[in-house]
């Protein structure tokens, strides 16, 4: 019997498969499709201090092997998430959650972290400093090592829960940012968020997306994710949640060999609502195929 469990900062997951924030709502929406308790964890919709309507439409552009989104962190705000969404999710999902938070200032990150710290359901706080679709926050913290470190320090100071910083690939050297947040007490890294991309409509001769650019995700970015996870694994001593174009059990194994302790599935949920279930069910057989008895033993195995 293959052991596909893994551990993140002392939290044992039955398996490493986690739906990525922004691709799985608040989780309960998928309970109509299958028993979501099979998931290793859930990273729920990115939450900000205030409610956000999001960016103007169109927000999505289809691409070969992926899509561009410019959602703009649409969410009902931290009060409603904590008081309504998470209690509703608790009826369906009984395991520790990953709370994905975003901000436009250090105070907003602090507020969201404090609110999530008080929620028993939350096991890990995932701090998004990598959203490419908003101005004055998100990615502007994630592309500068000092700014990234200041977010890590701020969040670290207001919670005892593990803090994972979600990094952008839109930088020259992602290891510099990873080392900076580790130095300020980050417990782990989530990576990679989307690559900045753009499509132009040949008929209108204008950008497809109202905001012009957006975050490119999907299978096309998988090799970039694999490369960056490999690099960051060598640069830091904290666990990595890997993501970027994952759509199969083989992809999960590959990112774990690169250095991921767990793996998030993002864009594939939009194509196939059963994607995470399919991957979890396929993992034992895939492990057997590659001679793996205990999945966690292979973390960083490619180094």
- Choosing from 16, 40, 66, 72, the residue that interacts with ligand SIN (CB under 6 A) is 72
Measured from the Cβ of residue 193, the count of other Cβ atoms closer than 10 Å reads 29
CB nearer ligand SIN, residue 1 or residue 53: 53
Q: Tell me how many residues contact ligand SIN (CB under 6 A).
A: 15
Q: Does 193 contact ligand SIN by CB under 6 A?
A: yes
| DSSP letters spanning 183-239 | HTT--EEEE--PEEE--EETTTTEESSTTS-EEEESGGGHHHHHHHHHHHHHH-SS-
CB nearer ligand SIN, residue 150 or residue 190: 190
Measured from the Cβ of residue 70, the count of other Cβ atoms closer than 10 Å reads 28
List binders of ligand SIN among 108-167 (CB under 6 A): 128, 130-133
For the chain, helix, strand, coil in percent to 5 are 35, 20, 45
The Cα–Cα gap between 230 and 50 comes to 36
CB of 92 to ligand SIN, least distance (A): 23
List binders of ligand SIN among 40-59 (CB under 6 A): 46
Q: Does 8 contact ligand SIN by CB under 6 A?
A: no
Contact segment (CB under 6 A) with ligand SIN among 65-73, 147-155, 156-164, 203-211 equals 65-73
CB of 4 to ligand SIN, least distance (A): 28
Active site residue 226: no
| DSSP letters spanning 91-119 | TT--SPEEEEE--SSHHHHHHHHHHHHT-
| The two structure tokens encoding residue 158 | 């207001």
Q: Does 19 contact ligand SIN by CB under 6 A?
A: no
CB of 248 to ligand SIN, least distance (A): 23
List binders of ligand SIN among 195-224 (CB under 6 A): 215
Measured from the Cβ of residue 50, the count of other Cβ atoms closer than 10 Å reads 12
The Cα–Cα gap between 297 and 263 comes to 15
Q: Catalytic positions, please?
A: 131
Interface positions with ligand SIN (CB under 6 A): 22, 46, 69-73, 128, 130-133, 193-194, 215
């Amino acid at each position: 019997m293959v052991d596909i469990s893994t551990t993140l900062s002392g939290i044992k997951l039955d398996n490493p498969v986690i739906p990525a924030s922004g691709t799985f709502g608040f989780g309960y929406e998928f309970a109509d499709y299958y028993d979501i308790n099979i998931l290793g964890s859930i990273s729920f919709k990115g939450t900000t201090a205030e409610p956000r309507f999001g960016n103007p439409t169109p927000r999505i552009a289809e691409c070969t092997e992926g899509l561009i989104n410019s959602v703009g962190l649409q969410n009902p705000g931290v009060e409603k998430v904590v008081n309504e969404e998470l209690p509703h999710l608790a009826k369906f999902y009984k395991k520790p959650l990953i709370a994905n938070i975003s901000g436009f200032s250090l105070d907003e990150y602090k507020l969201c972290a404090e609110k999530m710290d008080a929620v028993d359901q939350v096991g890990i706080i995932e701090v998004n400093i990598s959203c490419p679709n908003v101005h004055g926050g998100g990615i502007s913290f994630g592309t500068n090592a000092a700014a990234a470190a200041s977010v890590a320090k701020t969040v670290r100071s207001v919670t005892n829960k593990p803090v994972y910083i979600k990094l952008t690939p839109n930088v020259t050297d992602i290891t510099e940012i990873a080392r900076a947040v580790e130095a300020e007490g980050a417990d782990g890294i989530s990576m990679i968020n989307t690559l900045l991309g753009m499509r132009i409509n040949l008929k209108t001769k204008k950008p497809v997306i109202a905001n012009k650019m957006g975050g490119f995700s999907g299978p096309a970015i998988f090799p970039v994710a694999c490369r960056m996870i490999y690099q960051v694994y060598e640069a830091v001593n904290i666990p990595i949640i890997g993501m970027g174009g994952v759509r199969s059990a083989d992809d999960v194994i590959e990112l774990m060999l690169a250095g991921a302790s767990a793996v998030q599935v993002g864009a594939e949920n939009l194509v196939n609502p059963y994607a995470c279930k399919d991957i979890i069910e396929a993992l034992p057989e895939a492990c057997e195929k590659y001679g793996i008895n205990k999945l966690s033993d292979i973390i960083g195995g490619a180094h």
